[in-house]
Amino acid sequence: MGKPGKTTRTRPRRLKGFRDITSADVLARDWMITRIREVYERYGFSPLETPALEYVDVLGKFLPEADQPDAGIFAFRDEDEEWIALRYDLTAPLSRYVAMNAELPRPFRRYQVGPVYRVEKPGPDRFREFFQFDFDSVGTNSMLADAECCMIMCDTLEALGIARGDYIVRCNDRKVLNGVLELVAGGAEMAPDRSLQVLRCIDKLDKVGLDGVKLLLGPGRKDESGAFIAGVGLEPEQVELVLGYLSISTESRTALCDGLEELVSSSAAGMEGVGELRQIDEALVGAGYGEDRVVFDPTVVRGLEYYTGPVFEGSLTFEVVDDKGVARQFGSVFGGGRYDDLVQRFTGQKVPATGASIGVDRLLAALKTLGKIDNQAAAAPVLVTRLDKALTTEYQKMASELRSGGINTELYVGNQGIGKQFKYASDSGKTVAVVMGSDEMEKGEVSIKDLRLGVELSKEIGADRKKWLEDQPAQFTTPRAEMTEAVRKVLARYTIG
483: helix, coil or strand?
Answer: helix
Q: Is residue 273 a contact partner of residue 130, using CB atoms and an 8 Å limit?
A: no
Q: CA 90, CA 338: separation in Å to the nearest integer?
A: 15
Burial class (CB in 10 A: 0-12, 13-18, 19+), 12: exposed
| Residues 83, 69: Cα–Cα separation, whole Å | 8
CA–CA gap between residue 76 and residue 69 (Å, rounded): 9
Q: pLDDT tens across 248-296, in order?
A: 988 899 999 999 999 999 999 999 999 999 999 999 999 999 999 999 9
Q: What was the pLDDT predicted at 33?
A: 96
pLDDT, tens digit, 9 for 90 and up, residues 127-156:
999 999 999 999 999 999 999 999 999 999
Cα 51 from Cα 396, distance rounded (Å): 41
Q: Between these two residues, 321 and 335, which has the higher pLDDT value?
A: 335
Does 355 have pLDDT greater than 60?
Answer: yes
What is the pLDDT at residue 465?
Answer: 47
Whether the CB-CB separation of 270 and 175 falls below 8 Å is answered with yes
CA dist 389 and 265 (Å) reads 84
pLDDT category of residue 469 using cuts at 50, 70 and 90 = very low
CATH number for 382-492 (one of 3.30.200.20, 3.40.50.720, 3.30.300.30, 3.40.50.800): it is 3.40.50.800
Q: Are strands 83-86 and 75-77 parallel, antiparallel or unpaired?
A: antiparallel
- Give the model confidence (pLDDT) of 396-444 as tens digits: 999 999 999 999 999 999 999 999 999 999 989 899 999 999 999 999 9
What digits encode the pLDDT tens for the residues 295-330? 999 999 887 678 999 999 999 998 776 667 777 778
**Quick check: 472 pLDDT over 60?**
no
Residue 430 has what pLDDT?
93
**Cβ neighbour number for residue 423 with a 10 Å cutoff:** 11
Task: Assess whether pLDDT exceeds 50 at residue 468.
Answer: no
Q: What angle do CA 190, 309, 294 make, to 5 degrees?
A: 125
Whether 468 contacts 348, CB under 8 Å: no
Residue 85 has φ and ψ, to the nearest 5°, of: -145, 150
Q: How many angstroms from the chain centroid is the CA of residue 229?
A: 32
Distance between CA 86 and CA 78 in Å, rounded? 13
Which CATH class name applies to 166-307? alpha beta
On whether the CB atoms of residues 313 and 332 are closer than 8 A, the answer is yes
Cα dihedral 312, 314, 318, 321 sign: negative
Give the percent of the chain with pLDDT over 90.
71
The answer to whether residue 384 scores a pLDDT higher than 70 is: yes
- Could you give the CA distance from residue 237 to residue 223 in angstroms, rounded to a whole number? 24
Segment 487-496 shows an average pLDDT of 86
pLDDT at 186: 87
CATH number for the segment(s) 14-141+340-375 = 3.30.930.10
Answer whether 99's CB lies under 8 Å from 346's CB: yes
Which pLDDT belongs to residue 420?
95
- CATH 3.30.930.10 maps onto the chain at 14-141+340-375, 166-307
User: Sheet of 432-435: strands edge to edge?
Assistant: 409-411, 382-384, 432-435, 445-450, 475-479
474, containing H or E segment: none
* Mean pLDDT over each residue of the chain, to the nearest integer: 90
User: How far is Cα 443 from Cα 436, in angstroms, rounded to an integer?
Assistant: 10
Q: Is the pLDDT of residue 5 over 70?
A: no
Q: Could you tell me which residues come within 8 angstroms of residue 482 by beta carbon, excluding any fewer than 6 positions away?
A: none
pLDDT value at residue 189: 80
Instruction: Give ranges for CATH 3.40.50.800 in the chain.
Output: 382-492
The residue among 322 and 448 whose pLDDT is bigger is 448
Furthest C-alpha separation in the chain: 93
pLDDT over 80 at 459, yes or no: no
Dist. CA 288–CA 34, nearest whole Å:
25
Share of the chain above pLDDT 70, in %: 92
Collapsing DSSP states into helix, strand and coil, what is residue 371? Answer: coil
Report the pLDDT averaged over residues 376-388: 89
CA 36, 41, 45, 50: dihedral to nearest 10 degrees?
50
Residue 422's H or E segment, with its range, is helix 418-427
Question: What pLDDT, on a 0 to 100 scale, did the predictor assign at position 466?
Answer: 52
pLDDT given for residue 375 in this prediction = 62
Q: Which residues contact 390 (CB under 8 A, 6 or more apart)?
A: 438
pLDDT at 196: 87
pLDDT > 50? residue 387: yes
Residue pair 388/46 in contact (Cβ under 8 Å)? The answer is: no
Q: Treating both helix axes as pointing N-terminal to C-terminal, what angle do 268-287 and 174-184 enclose, rounded to 10 degrees?
A: 150
pLDDT at 319: 76
List, for residues 152-186, the tens digit of each pLDDT value: 999 999 999 999 999 999 999 999 999 999 999 98
**Surface-to-core class of residue 80, CB atoms within 10 Å of its CB (0-12 exposed, 13-18 middle, 19+ buried):** exposed
> What is the rounded CA–CA span in Å between residue 258 and residue 248?
9
Q: Span 209-238, mean pLDDT?
A: 89
Flag whether pLDDT at 223 surpasses 80: yes
What is the per-residue pLDDT across 55-112, written as a single tens digit (0 to 9) for each? 999 998 876 666 778 889 999 999 999 999 999 999 999 999 999 999 999 999 999 9
Angle at 51 between CA 46 and CA 56, to 5 degrees: 125
